[in-house]
Amino acid sequence: ILNVEQSPQSLHVQEGDSTNFTCSFPSSNFYALHWYRWETAKSPEALFVMTLNGDEKKKGRISATLNTKEGYSYLYIKGSQPEDSATYLCALTGANNLFFGTGTRLTVIP
């Protein structure tokens, strides 16, 4: 079992604000890290799969960085919009399995 921790558990931001949250994981035997966005009653949507230390990926207003040596990844949202409201999940690839954190629930207030 791989221990994946996410913080904060939840946060509220005003529309237009930028925000970020953290995923921490064991740095040994790293293979890949996944970020998902999960809206209620919908499928978790894959945002990024990151494999290389120092990697930075971007998708529109959302970006993510990865530090495998110290065991963390940051997800950034620039200029948050109400449609960004969702739970953001981080997961680590283990042996034929994904180990998830408990997620960060983001609410963007119009």
Partner 1 sequence: SAVISQKPSRDICQRGTSLTIQCQVDSQVTMMFWYRQQPGQSLTLIATANQGSEATYESGFVIDKFPISRPNLTFSTLTVSNMSPEDSSIYLCSVRNPGMNEQFFGPGTRLTVL
Span interacting with partner 1, options 22-30, 33-41, 62-70, 71-79, rule CB under 8 A: 33-41
SS3 label, residue 82: helix
Among positions 21, 25, 36, 88, the unique one binding partner 1 when judged by CB under 8 A: 36
How far is Cα 62 from Cα 84, in angstroms, rounded to an integer?
A: 10
Q: Residues near 4 by Cβ (< 8 Å), separated by ≥ 6?
A: 23, 24, 25, 90, 91, 92, 99, 100, 101
Q: Where are the alpha helices (DSSP H) in 1-110?
A: none
Q: Does 11 bind partner 1 (CB under 8 A)?
A: no
**Beta carbon of residue 57, minimum distance to partner 1 (angstroms, whole number):** 12
Among positions 60, 70, 96, 110, the unique one binding partner 1 when judged by CB under 8 A: 96
Q: Does 41 bind partner 1 (CB under 8 A)?
A: yes
DSSP state of 41: T
**Beta carbon of residue 81, minimum distance to partner 1 (angstroms, whole number):** 22
**Beta carbon of residue 35, minimum distance to partner 1 (angstroms, whole number):** 12
